[in-house]
Amino acid sequence: MDDRLERVIRQQLRKAGRQFEEAKKAYAEGRGDPDGENAGAELYDLPTDDDGRARIVCRRHAERRAVTVDAEGRPDCFESGHADCEGCAEDVRDGYVETW
């Protein structure tokens, strides 16, 4: 009876361990970017701050900014039609954007 009890306990502990690892992985994925609005920071391999925002240098205002970047490579400060903003988004996609 002791061998069966030990086997059952080991099986339950393994099962609990797997569930814990799955939950930990799901938490990390959800915490990183639950809405997908900062997918560009990881997609374009940009350095990030503690909140997961991309650290880039704004071409338009020549200042350091921590911003979210969408999957299209556009920072949240992006203004469509502005030459500096368009160039910045192109640089993000090409991997040549200035970061800090």
How would DSSP label each residue in 52-70? S-EEEEETTTTEEEEE-B-
| Separation CA 18–CA 13 (nearest Å) | 9
* Domain span including residue 68: 36-94
Please check whether residue 22 lies inside any domain of the structure: no
18-71 tens-digit pLDDT: 999 888 877 766 655 545 667 788 888 899 988 889 999 988 888 999 999 988
Q: Distances from the Cα of 34 to the Cαs of 29, 31, 38, 62, in angstroms? A: 8, 6, 9, 30
Please tell me the predicted confidence (pLDDT) of residue 22.
87
Please check whether residue 4 lies inside any domain of the structure: no
Please check whether residue 77 lies inside any domain of the structure: yes
Please tell me the predicted confidence (pLDDT) of residue 78.
92
Q: Are strands 63-67 and 54-58 parallel, antiparallel or unpaired?
A: antiparallel
Please check whether residue 2 lies inside any domain of the structure: no
> How many structural domains comprise the chain?
1
